[in-house]
């Protein structure tokens, strides 16, 4: 990569992280819409915008820098209490995320579009006009606080604002003094801040001018407590902290004029939060809850957990609020392929590599000895030594493989957080009111699988909101809660991850599905007559299928669930659907943890060799031909009293079948699906690296890739998910 390309890649990677953090914090702010915002959250969003502005300026990305500067100025006014946070400001900040993302996409490609530039400039100009000034009260509340003028003189503007708000609200204020030894004061101060955080708001952290000893350092923390003195004292037991209550008078002393504050223009404010390392450290302790908020929210905004309004009103911006629809089809895939790796994991990999080098030296010594003694028969001791080194090599390679796989793993929450913001926008445009519930975001998957998973999940959630969830009035009419529920859940089961998207909407009408499939010629009357309810539901995954009677902004434009199913098949995944009319639907996705290095069972069919991923193999049977029965034109086996669908791999791939006296049946399974696959030979297990097929071979169903075995022979790797689909629905032919 050339230096310019490397610098651009670094910018995109770092900007993506900032936008992810910004999106997560804005989502939290939106979830508490109508409540007083957490000042620490507002400050965090401000810092993210400030960091993005500085990063964009460093890499000469002027359009991103200008927009970030406008957002930073707006957020600075919010955090300093100079304006109120209302729904219009919050909607505009959320809209800016889409514009930032679009600008970043263009920056990564080196493109510039006039339409996006105009939209970005218009949004930056709107930032300057937004907001309602906060009401001005007579007198400064800080004049009633008995505080050393020298201490007050070093407060930043933000700290003065937070102190003023706490005084105005009647919060009990304390000066927490703590002495630490210079050798470990940072750990002691961090522990003290952690104890204080759930009890109130640390407004400022100041080094004291009077340490208790020559080898120590003391800090004064100005703290607003939301608990009693007894609870606060109990929480600080075991720490070197002393409590001194700050007195707040009922009226301001007549002879105490307020000290000057740095009320500069918004443009100059970004430098004020962190002028010294002390300020940086103090921010770690600034935490609060909704009870200590920076501003009062507009009373017109509803106080529900995740409000979804059917329309957005902003007369001053014209049609600008509808701009997010331009990005409705934007992919949620990350623009960068970088992965954050814990340094301890890298240290472990380096140690393993060092041990492999020792094994290499031993093998070289053994080989050298064999070469010099080539005329003599090799001794038994030589063979034992070689076997010992081979076992060591196998163990260390396993350790290296596991370490590399762990380094590739990322939490699925990276995609879930992006989807949460998308759900809010889609629901508002569709006029739906819903709660979006996320669980299992900490479950980890391979980075490449997570990236490929984002678009299928986005489409499933589109369908859930557009087709599944009813309008609020319709829900109330049938006795349902006005607010719908859409949930996204992840769970690891063995070597697979289950991701479920469910809703409590109207469900899928399987008879309507069958009717549409017949009208469009996707199935025949004979096939329809024999279909079970589950098979009728699975018809929604056929190409060209849609029950929508009209095209909407969100879906119904020909990109159906068949694309979702194909994308999951490329990941060796499986999708299943459950639905009950009037109660809702659920889509369950089953995915492997990784596609990089897997253990495989090597089998032979009609003289050809294939590899079956071992994480999908449940057991292996040996059956006689007479044990195979036919039920409703499908071959099945009786497995411990259960009927097991059975298929012959040779017939699936149109290979010549050999007469055999017995079959080896490999029982595979994903989710609740089970299938017995007949093969001729079993060659054992082996670790393989799957390589994707290119060109025309890429579209072959039932094959996920190819690999090289130890004998340098290339074999095909079976796609278990596709084989399960074919085995369960043999009348549905592959294209």
Same-domain check for residues 23 and 125:
yes
Same-domain check for residues 418 and 524:
yes
State both tokens at 264: 């500069």
If one compares 468 and 281, the residue with the highest pLDDT of the two is 468
496-503, strands of its sheet edge to edge: 434-439, 484-493, 496-503, 584-592, 574-580
CA–CA separation, 246 and 383 (whole Å): 81
Q: What is the mean pLDDT of residues 466-490?
A: 91
Flag whether 335 is in a domain: no
Q: What is the mean pLDDT of residues 154-180?
A: 85
Residues 578-633: tens digit of each pLDDT: 898 888 999 999 888 887 778 899 999 988 999 999 888 999 999 888 888 888 77
CA–CA separation, 715 and 698 (whole Å): 15
CATH of the domain at 432: 3.30.565.10
Flag whether 216 is in a domain: yes
In degrees, rounded to 5, the angle at the alpha carbon of residue 44 between the alpha carbons of residues 40 and 47 is 140
Same-domain check for residues 38 and 146:
no
SS3 for 43? helix
Same-domain check for residues 123 and 25:
yes
Q: Tell me, what's the pLDDT at 489?
A: 93
Q: Tell me, what's the pLDDT at 734?
A: 39
Q: What is the mean pLDDT of residues 46-53?
A: 92
Mean pLDDT of the chain: 79
Q: What is the mean pLDDT of residues 59-83?
A: 89
CATH of the domain at 169: 3.30.70.1150
Flag whether 292 is in a domain: no
Does residue 684 contact residue 602 with C-beta atoms inside 8 Å? Answer: yes
Q: Tell me, what's the pLDDT at 502?
A: 93
Out of 35-49, 105-119, 242-256, 598-612, least confident range: 242-256
Strand 434-439 to strand 484-493: parallel, antiparallel, or no bridges (unpaired)? parallel
Same-domain check for residues 67 and 8:
yes
Flag whether 328 is in a domain: no
pTM for this predicted structure: 0.67
Out of 117-121, 376-380, 565-569, least confident range: 376-380
CA–CA separation, 55 and 490 (whole Å): 34
Flag whether 675 is in a domain: yes
> What Rg, from alpha-carbon coordinates, does the chain have?
32
Same-domain check for residues 419 and 359:
no
Residue 176, class by beta-carbon neighbours within 10 Å (0-12 exposed, 13-18 middle, 19+ buried)? buried
State both tokens at 383: 């063979």
CATH of the domain at 623: 2.40.50.180
Same-domain check for residues 583 and 443:
yes
Residues facing 679 on adjacent strands:
664
Residues 180-201: tens digit of each pLDDT: 888 778 888 888 888 888 888 8
634-639, strands of its sheet edge to edge: 617-623, 663-670, 673-679, 642-648, 634-639, 629-631
Flag whether 317 is in a domain: no
Flag whether 331 is in a domain: no
Same-domain check for residues 395 and 486:
no
Residues 482-534: tens digit of each pLDDT: 999 999 999 998 888 999 999 999 888 888 888 888 888 888 888 888 888 88
Q: Tell me, what's the pLDDT at 297?
A: 32
Domain of 378?
A: 343-408
Same-domain check for residues 511 and 415:
yes
pLDDT over 70 at 262, yes or no: no
Q: Tell me, what's the pLDDT at 486?
A: 92
Total number of domains in the chain: 5
Alpha helices in 110-224 (DSSP H): 114-129, 149-153, 157-169, 185-196
pLDDT over 70 at 39, yes or no: yes
Q: What is the mean pLDDT of residues 622-649?
A: 87
CATH of the domain at 108: 1.20.120.160
pLDDT over 90 at 546, yes or no: no
Same-domain check for residues 449 and 582:
yes
Flag whether 474 is in a domain: yes
Same-domain check for residues 173 and 230:
yes
Same-domain check for residues 538 and 569:
yes
């Amino acid at each position: 990569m050339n230096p310019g390309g490397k610098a651009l890649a670094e910018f995109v990677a770092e900007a993506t992280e900032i936008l992810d953090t910004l999106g997560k914090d804005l989502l939290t702010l939106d979830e508490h819409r109508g409540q007083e915002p957490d000042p620490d959250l507002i400050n965090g969003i401000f810092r993210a915008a400030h960091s993005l502005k500085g990063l964009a300026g460093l890499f000469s990305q002027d359009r991103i820098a200008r927009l970030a500067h406008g957002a930073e100025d707006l957020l600075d006014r919010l955090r300093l209490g100079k304006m109120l946070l209302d729904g219009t400001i919050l909607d505009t900040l959320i809209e800016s995320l889409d514009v930032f993302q679009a600008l970043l996409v263009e920056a990564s490609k080196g493109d510039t579009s006039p339409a996006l530039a105009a939209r970005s400039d218009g949004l930056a100009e709107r930032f300057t006009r937004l907001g309602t000034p906060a009401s001005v009260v007579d007198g400064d509340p800080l004049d009633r606080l008995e505080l050393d003028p020298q201490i007050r003189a070093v407060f930043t503007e933000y700290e003065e604002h937070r102190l003023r708000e706490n005084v105005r609200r009647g919060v009990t204020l304390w000066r927490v003094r703590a002495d630490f030894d210079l050798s470990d004061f940072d750990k002691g101060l961090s522990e003290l801040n952690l104890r204080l955080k759930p009890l109130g708001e640390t407004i400022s952290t100041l080094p004291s001018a009077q340490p208790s000893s020559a080898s120590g350092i003391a800090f004064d923390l100005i703290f607003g407590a939301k608990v009693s003195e007894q609870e606060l004292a109990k929480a600080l037991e075991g720490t070197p902290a002393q409590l001194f209550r700050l007195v707040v008078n009922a009226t301001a002393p007549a002879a105490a004029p307020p000290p000057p504050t740095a009320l500069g223009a918004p443009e100059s404010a970004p430098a004020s939060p962190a002028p010294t390392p002390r300020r940086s450290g103090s921010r770690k302790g600034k935490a609060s809850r909704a009870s200590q908020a920076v501003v009062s929210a507009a009373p017109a905004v509803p106080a529900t957990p995740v409000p979804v309004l059917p329309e957005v009103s902003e007369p001053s911006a014209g049609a600008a609020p509808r701009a997010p629809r331009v990005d409705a089809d934007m992919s949620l895939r990350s623009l960068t392929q970088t992965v954050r790796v814990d340094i301890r994991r890298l240290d472990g990999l380096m140690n393993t590599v060092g041990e492999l080098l020792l094994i290499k030296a031993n093998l070289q010594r053994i080989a050298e000895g064999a070469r010099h003694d080539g005329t003599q028969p090799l001794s038994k001791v030589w063979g034992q030594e070689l076997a010992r080194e081979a076992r060591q090599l196998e163990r260390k390679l396993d350790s290296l493989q596991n370490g590399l796989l762990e380094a590739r793993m990322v939490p699925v929450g990276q995609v879930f957080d992006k989807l949460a913001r998308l759900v809010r926008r889609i629901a508002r445009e569709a006029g739906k009111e819903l709660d979006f519930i996320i669980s299992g975001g900490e479950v980890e998957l391979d980075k490449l699988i997570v990236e490929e998973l984002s678009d299928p999940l986005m489409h499933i959630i589109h369908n859930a909101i557009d087709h599944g969830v009813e309008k609020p009035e319709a829900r109330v009419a049938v006795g349902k809660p006005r607010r719908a529920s859409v949930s996204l859940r992840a769970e690891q089961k063995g070597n697979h991850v289950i991701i479920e998207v469910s809703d409590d909407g109207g469900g899928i009408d399987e008879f309507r599905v069958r009717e549409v499939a017949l009208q469009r010629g996707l199935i025949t009357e004979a096939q329809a007559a024999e279909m079970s309810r589950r098979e009728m539901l699975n018809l929604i995954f056929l190409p060209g299928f849609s029950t929508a009677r009209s095209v909407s902004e969100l879906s119904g434009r020909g990109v159906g669930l068949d694309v979702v199913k194909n994308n999951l098949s490329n990941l060796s995944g499986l999708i299943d659907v459950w639905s009950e009319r009037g109660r809702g639907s659920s889509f369950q996705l089953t995915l492997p943890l990784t596609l990089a290095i897997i253990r495989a069972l090597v089998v032979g069919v009609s003289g050809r060799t294939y590899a079956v991923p071992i994480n999908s193999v449940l057991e292996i049977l040996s059956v006689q031909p007479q044990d195979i029965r036919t039920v409703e034109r499908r071959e099945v086996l009786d497995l411990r009293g259960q009927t097991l669908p059975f298929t012959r791999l040779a017939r699936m791939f149109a290979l010549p079948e050999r007469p055999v006296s017995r079959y080896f049946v490999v029982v595979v399974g994903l989710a609740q699906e089970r299938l017995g696959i007949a093969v001729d030979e079993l060659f054992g297990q082996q670790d393989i690296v799957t390589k994707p097929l290119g060109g025309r071979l890429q579209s072959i169903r039932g094959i996920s890739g190819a690999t090289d075995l130890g004998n340098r022979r290339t074999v095909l790797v079976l796609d278990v998910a596709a084989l399960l689909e074919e085995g369960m629905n043999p009348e549905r032919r592959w294209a």
